[in-house]
Structure formats: C-alpha cells, structure tokens
Amino acid sequence: MTRPIGILHFAAIGLLLACAAAIYAPGLSGAFLLDDWPTLKGLNHLASSGLLGDAVQFARESRRVVTHFTFALQRDAWPTAPEQFKVVGVAIHLLSGLALYWLLKQLCALAPSVQTAARYLPLTATTVWLLHPLHVSTVLYVAQRSTALAALFTLAGLGAYLTGRLSCLQGDHRQGYAWMSVGVGLGLLLATFSKENGILLPLFVLVIEGTLLVNITRPPKWNAWASIFLLSPLLALAGYLAYNHQQIIGAYILRDFTLAERLLTETRIIADYLGKALIPKPQGFGLFFDDFGKSTDFFTPVTTLWSTLLVASLLGAGLALRRRIPVLSFAILWFFVGHLLESTYIPLELYFEHRNYVPSVGLFFGLVWGASRLLDYVQTKPLRRFAMAGLASSLVLLALLTFHEARLWGDSLLQAEEWAKRRPDSRRVQANLAGQYASLGFYDYAARTYARMSEKYPRDPTPYLLHAELRCDAPGLPELPLDANIRFRHGERNLGTVAALERLTIYKELNRCSAYKTEFFLMLARTLAENPVYRPDPVNLQLILARLYTVDSQFDAAIDTYELVKKRRKTAELPLTQAELAFKLGDIKAAAAFLKEAESRANAKNFERIEVLRSHLRLKSGG
C-alpha cells in the first residue's frame, strides 16, 4: 500500500525544485552552441508566433515532431533570445524531476527489496539526479531538448505504468490496466517522437519487472498485454534496424572509425561516464569530446582491455544478481539499456554527456540504496550523525559543481576559454573559442586561434576555411598560407569542413565576402571533391559546387552539377532550381522540362516557386 505524501514531503519537493532552478539560473544567459544553429535555422522561415499551422508544419518536417513543435512555439525568440529556449530547458528538467520522484515513489511502494528505504530513497535519488553536474549539457544545450523531452515522457510513462501495477496488486485490474496502457502507450509515442531512443521505454519496463518486481505477482492477462505494449514496439525496433542494417553499416565510411573500433572505444567511454556519475570531479564536464582517442584493439590503448572487462563484469553481475540483489541488478541493467542505441553499433559520434540523462537514474537509485544499507550498519548516534553529515555534504558538493558549470554556460566567452584550457587538443573547443572571439569583435584573437589550429593540423581543411570565413567579416586580416594539395586534395576528413565551405558559399550568395573571389572557393570545393576521404558522401559538396557556379554565373555547369545530385536526392527543389537556371540562360524548352519534373515531386513548399516560374514561361513563350 502506497503512503500518502505528507506536507513535509511536499515542502521538500518544492524546496528541491526551487534549489535546482536557482542553481541553473546563471546558465540562462548563455549563447547558442554547435548543433543549436542547424537544429533551429528552419525557424527563419516561420511566421510570427501564434500561427499554429506553421508550428505544425515545422514539426512535421522532422522525425522529432514533439521537440520541433515546442521549438516552433518559440519562433519569436529565435535567434536573438537564447535565454528563452534555455528557460524551457530548465523547466523540462524540473518536470522530469517530478516525474522521476513519482516513478521512484511507486517503485518503492511495490518492490519489497527497497520498502525499508521508501521514506527517503525517492526524494534523495531524485535530488542527486536533479542536481548532478553531468546533466548540465543536457539542460542548457538547446539542441538537446529532444533528450530532455524524451526523458520526461519516458519517466512519466513508467510512473503511470507502476501506478497501474500498484492498482492491479490492490485488486482493481480495470483501473490498473488503464494506467499501464496509457502510461506505456502514450509515453512511448511522445518519447519516441521527441527523440528516437524513447523507443527504449518498454525495455525499461522489462528491466523493472525482471529485477525489482521479479517476485511480485503479475495481474491476469499481463503476458497478453505485454505482447502488445512491450514486445511489439521492440520487435518493430529490431525489424527497423535489421531492414536498415546495410545502410547503418555503410554510414561508417563517413566516420574515422570502424564498427569494431567504435564498440571497443565505447567500453572506455562507458567507464568514463560511470566515473563522472559516481565520482564527479571539478572541470571534468563539457560539450566537446572530439579529442577522446579511439581504440584500435584491446591494447591500444591498454585501458580498452580493462574497460571491456569492467563492462562485461557489470553486465554479468546485473544478469546474475536479479534475484539475490535485485536493486544492484536494476541499477546496472537500467544504465546499460539506456545506452543501448547511442553507445553501441549505430555510427553516431563517440562521446556526449547527454547520453547519460536517463541511464543515470538507475545508477543514482542504486547509489542511494547502497548508502542507506551502509547507514543501517551504523548503530552509534555520533557515528550515524557523522555519516548523515557526510551524505548531506555530498549533495551540497554536487549542487556547487552544477552551479559552477551553469555559471560557465551563462558566460559564453568564459566558458570557451575554460574549455580551451581543459581540452587543448579538442579542435571543436578551439574553434568554439575563436568563434566566441569573433562574435565579440575580437577578430585578431580569433585569427590567432585559427592560425594556431592551422599550424597544428596542417592536413585539416577546416581551420583554413574558418579563418577565411573570419576574413569575410574582417577583410583586413592577413590571409593564411595555403597548400591546397596537402590541406584539401590529400587532407584528412573533418565533419566541420563541408559545413564551413557551405557557410562561405552563403557569404558569396549574399555578396558579403569581398576578401575572396568566387573562383577561389570553387577551386577549394573542386579540390576537396577530389579527396578520396570526401568522396563517399558527395551530395553536399556537389550542392555547394552548383551554388558557387550559380553565383559565378556559370549556369550550364550549375545545371549539370544539380543533375548529379538528383541521382541521390529525389526532391522537387533540385529540378526546380535547374528550371530557374535554364530560364536565365534563355533555354525555354529545358526550363519547361525541368519544371514538369519538379511538378511531379512538388509539395506545399514548392507551389509558389512553381507558379511564379510557370507564369514566366507562359509570358516568354507568348502563351
């Protein structure tokens, strides 16, 4: 039987949420970072807020419909008011804390192994989760609203499921199944359409059932219910991954690591995540970890072997101790289930702290439970008070670490300089520092940072392109020396290279870069396209070339290049652009043919452009 929440608990929860809000408050004044810009740039094309139809349309253009719908509702805050986006991020974090408390409260009411600690375990574990510095890069990084929303709906869905399980245990099966079905069904839907790893919600249910509730009688027809609400989504996930297996494996050609190297490296990363979660250290957190070296075998570096043994041992213990020590089993299996998609074979980038947002719930639950068991062995009052003071001090320390990290996120220049000290070998950190200098008008500092990067990484095209972008804004800066053969034709692959070249293309399209002629950027793009490491994914480079040809009035070359792109990308925009270019060349017949092709692929976004071109063609042809 679950106990009602008393007035002291309400007060404690309110105080906890107020403390968490105050701790994160210094981080609200920070700027947009990294993926924020590409994630939110579509808001440029929306009308002012209040037009619900535009918000729905923006959301439908992404698989993360729920997340993008919330972004669209904040159209007026883009791109001048990042603090408004961050306020929503903190609010979602606080709501997730409430959902977690509800989940853990129901769990402690159901699970025999934790009922002795039911009075303080839910609140304490929620406190650790809400105040832990590991989550700052989820809460204050706007692009990770997807992670936060998926977590909110996952935790709320699990809380509803456990409420239903408790109702069934008390004999009200009708109400119980209603709670369970709505919790898992709606929670799964909202979580998955916030971020893809929301699909793991049924697996979290199975972890709970297979560990903490392993000896609790399940209601009649539970297996039939589970086959619909738990197994069906998981089978759909397995089918999706199997169907797209070749495409997933093929995407490794775009990475600088193989599948085997990724799996080996992730064992070291998991060990690092565990260290950060259980023993957080000052200055150990951040956003950029591109300098985390990959593992090429079990002994390179040798920590790969120890990390692999650690991961294997933990998984083995989690499976073996399901009945003997169910809380420990729950903590371990929950953590690894949470990492199942993002830290295994899908070729994502290797390291991000936000991947621990939901997985850490199990760790902190197990950690607080373990501390409570240790306190049970402390009999003398002075020693018990000392132990309690130590635990309270640990919570205060967590809060202070999080407050310090939030302050960094609130001062973009201080953050960039601090991260540059922490991770001097991270190219993203150094580029972020230079970008912050440039945004404040400190062009000389930015230029020197790019120059150091260019000298340190002579085969990386990105520092040169970033410096060129800087010179578009400050033409008086001296140009960096360039050996295009080494840096571009035979240079190393960097994910930021094509993005930087695209930004330079936009500068030329807007006639905002007098420091370079268009022919120069065309030469760089063509040289880069000859580089074998950039050939596996030629579409973006070909699009850049086509746009640069257009700026340079080489319309025939632009049309031919768009033709190459059409073989890989079946959209209406490409033949429509070709039709517009052919019209500029005066080739009415070709323009009409391209227009007909565009009409066959068109959607609502293209209708206006199509109609304008159609009317121009009628006028030109006299019809």
Residue (of 314, 399, 396, 303) closest to 362 by Cα position:
314
- Mean pLDDT computed over 327-346: 96
pLDDT at residue 7, as a whole number: 77
Which amino acid is located at 499 in the chain? A
User: 456 Cβ partners below 8 Å, 6+ apart?
Assistant: none
What does the pLDDT look like over 166-215, one tens digit per residue?
999 999 999 999 999 999 999 999 999 999 999 999 999 999 999 999 99
pLDDT value at 2 more than 50: no
For 233, 505, 516, 565, 584, the CA distances from 546, given in Å and listed in that order, are 42, 10, 18, 9, 15
What does the pLDDT look like over 406-424, one tens digit per residue?
999 999 999 999 999 999 9
Task: Find the length of the chain.
Answer: 623
pLDDT at residue 6, as a whole number: 67
pLDDT at residue 51, as a whole number: 59
Q: Is 350 helix (H, G, I), strand (E, B) or coil?
A: coil
What does the pLDDT look like over 509-561, one tens digit per residue?
999 999 999 999 999 999 999 999 888 777 889 999 999 999 999 999 999 99
Residue whose pair of structure tokens reads 């956003």 in the numeric block = 287
Considering only 400-404, 435-439, 514-518, 612-616, which range has the smallest mean pLDDT?
A: 612-616
Residues 198, 495, 197: CA angle, nearest 5 degrees:
5
pLDDT at residue 47, as a whole number: 62
Residue (of 213, 193, 195) closest to 204 by Cα position:
213
Residue whose pair of structure tokens reads 């290797």 in the numeric block = 350
Cβ-in-10-Å burial (0-12, 13-18, 19+) of 570 comes to exposed
> Number of C-alpha atoms within 13 angstroms, CB side, residue 86?
24
Cα 425 from Cα 446, distance rounded (Å): 17
Q: Residue 295's beta-bridge partner residues?
A: none
Question: If you ran DSSP here, which 8-state letter would residue 297 be given?
Answer: B
User: Among positive and negative, which fits the CA dihedral 240, 245, 247, 251?
Assistant: positive
Which amino acid is located at 438 in the chain? A
pLDDT at residue 45, as a whole number: 76
Q: Is 381 helix (H, G, I), strand (E, B) or coil?
A: helix
Q: What is the DSSP string of 526-577?
A: HHHHTSGGGSSS-HHHHHHHHHHHHHTT-HHHHHHHHHHHHTT---SHHHHH
Residue whose pair of structure tokens reads 């940072």 in the numeric block = 449
What does the pLDDT look like over 241-287, one tens digit per residue?
999 999 999 889 888 899 999 999 999 999 999 999 999 998 889 99
Measure CA 571 to chain center.
27
Q: Is 265 helix (H, G, I), strand (E, B) or coil?
A: helix
470-501: b or e for each residue (b if 16 or more CB lie within 10 Å)?
A: bbbeeeebeebebebeebbbebebbebbbebb
- Report whether 525 contacts 548 (CB < 8 A): yes
Verify cis geometry, omega within 30 degrees of 0, for the bond prior to 475. no
Measure CA 296 to chain center.
26
User: Among positive and negative, which fits the CA dihedral 399, 402, 406, 408?
Assistant: positive
Tell me which H or E stretch contains 309.
helix 303-320
- Report whether 598 contacts 576 (CB < 8 A): yes
- Report whether 346 contacts 248 (CB < 8 A): yes
- Report whether 121 contacts 104 (CB < 8 A): yes
- Mean pLDDT computed over 588-605: 82
Strands in 369-490 per DSSP E: none
Cα 246 from Cα 241, distance rounded (Å): 9
Question: If you ran DSSP here, which 8-state letter would residue 482 be given?
Answer: -
Task: Determine phi and psi for 331, rounding to 5 degrees.
Answer: -60, -45
Looking at the chain, the whole-number percentage of residues with pLDDT higher than 70 is 97
pLDDT at residue 566, as a whole number: 84
Cα 544 from Cα 369, distance rounded (Å): 56
- Mean pLDDT computed over 155-159: 98
Cα 278 from Cα 273, distance rounded (Å): 9
- Mean pLDDT computed over 559-585: 86
Q: How confident is the model at residue 216 (pLDDT cuts 50, 70, 90)?
A: very high
Q: How confident is the model at residue 622 (pLDDT cuts 50, 70, 90)?
A: low
- Mean pLDDT computed over 364-379: 85
pLDDT at residue 1, as a whole number: 43
Q: Residue 300's beta-bridge partner residues?
A: 297
Measure CA 618 to chain center.
48
- Report whether 110 contacts 166 (CB < 8 A): yes
Considering only 56-60, 72-76, 309-313, which range has the smallest mean pLDDT?
A: 56-60
Q: Between 293 and 6, where is the model more confident?
A: 293
What does the pLDDT look like over 455-493, one tens digit per residue?
999 999 999 999 999 999 999 999 999 999 999 999 998
Which amino acid is located at 301 in the chain? P
Cα 261 from Cα 37, distance rounded (Å): 30
Task: Determine phi and psi for 297, rounding to 5 degrees.
Answer: -160, -175
Cβ-in-10-Å burial (0-12, 13-18, 19+) of 567 comes to exposed
For the chain, give the mean pLDDT. Answer: 91
Label residue 50 left, alpha or beta by phi (over 0 means left) and psi (-120 to 50 means alpha).
left
Global confidence as pTM: 0.91
Considering only 61-65, 154-158, 459-463, which range has the smallest mean pLDDT?
A: 61-65
Looking at the chain, the whole-number percentage of residues with pLDDT higher than 90 is 73
- Report whether 12 contacts 392 (CB < 8 A): no
pLDDT value at 62 more than 90: no
pLDDT at residue 414, as a whole number: 95
Cα 205 from Cα 222, distance rounded (Å): 13
Q: Between 383 and 417, where is the model more confident?
A: 417
- Report whether 142 contacts 82 (CB < 8 A): yes
Label residue 599 left, alpha or beta by phi (over 0 means left) and psi (-120 to 50 means alpha).
alpha
Measure CA 298 to chain center.
28
What does the pLDDT look like over 347-361, one tens digit per residue?
999 999 999 999 999
Q: Is 606 helix (H, G, I), strand (E, B) or coil?
A: coil
Residue whose pair of structure tokens reads 């019809």 in the numeric block = 623
Task: Determine phi and psi for 300, rounding to 5 degrees.
Answer: -130, 90
Question: If you ran DSSP here, which 8-state letter would residue 142 be given?
Answer: G
